Amino acid sequence: MPRLLLVNRFAVLDIEEVNTDISEPIDAPSLSSSAPDRTMQPRKPKWEKKLPKQLSVNTLDACGMLIILPIEVSTTDTSEVHSVKALLDSGATGNFIDRDFVRTKGINTRSISRPIPVYNVDGSPNEAGQISEVVDVVLRYKTHSERTLLAVFSLGKQNMILSYTWLKDHNPEVNWQTGEVQMNRCPPRCEGCCVIRKEQALRKQMETRALNACRSGPLLEYVEDSEEDETPVWTQEAEYEQGD
């Protein structure tokens, strides 16, 4: 009979005693003292995201001829129509409407979350302050119509300014001798401008037809004048008929 092994290699291992006492919680470092302030800023609406970060306005008195457009603005919320004269100013970079004019006419405004600084053409801050509100209107000039935002600002003698950005976007045809402005090269989003383009295309087509008809007609007969006989031809023919 084999000898039994006295050592059991599967014997239970020693287990350390578990401390059943409730341990005190370890003080965790405060997050508020070290973490940066991540307060959520209110999201800007789509219309406000399209506004420029800064604007400039020409504060110098303009010399020479000024182009003034008789404009009608219709409010988008109340559909009220107001007549206003707008100055074309290539020295400005934003479309402005006078603050006093807005208050007098009772036009509702929209506040913006962050004011827009306004600078003069020489780069200095304008003394009238910043832009804090805009108006949403439909701007009409003759057959031209567009929806736009106008920055409310103190303009002094002017009630509205249409800037270089507006001139560049619409590229109007300006007659500086007569002050006439034709809105015939506007982008597709502008309404009513297609009427002017159609009228000009029709006029050009009629002129082309008249020119082609003139070119295709019979050539005029050239009759050289005689130095000896200066009597008109029709007189000679009339005398010949009377002699018969």
Sketch out the chain's domains with CATH numbers: 46-195 (2.40.70.10)
pTM above 0.75? no
Cα gap 70→84, rounded to integer Å: 6
- Where does the chain have alpha helices with state H? 31-34, 46-49, 99-105, 164-170, 193-216, 233-243
Cα gap 190→171, rounded to integer Å: 12
The pLDDT profile of the chain, 244 residues, written as one tens digit per residue, is: 555 555 555 555 554 555 555 455 545 545 444 455 555 666 777 767 767 666 766 644 444 568 899 999 999 999 999 999 999 988 888 899 999 999 999 999 999 988 889 988 888 888 888 999 999 999 999 989 999 999 999 998 899 999 989 999 999 998 888 888 988 888 888 877 766 666 666 777 777 777 777 777 665 555 555 555 555 544 444 454 555 5
Which among 49, 69, 25, 48 has a CA at the least distance from the CA of 162? 69
Cα gap 96→155, rounded to integer Å: 8
Q: How far is CA 145 from CA 138, 163, 190, 199, in A?
A: 7, 17, 6, 17
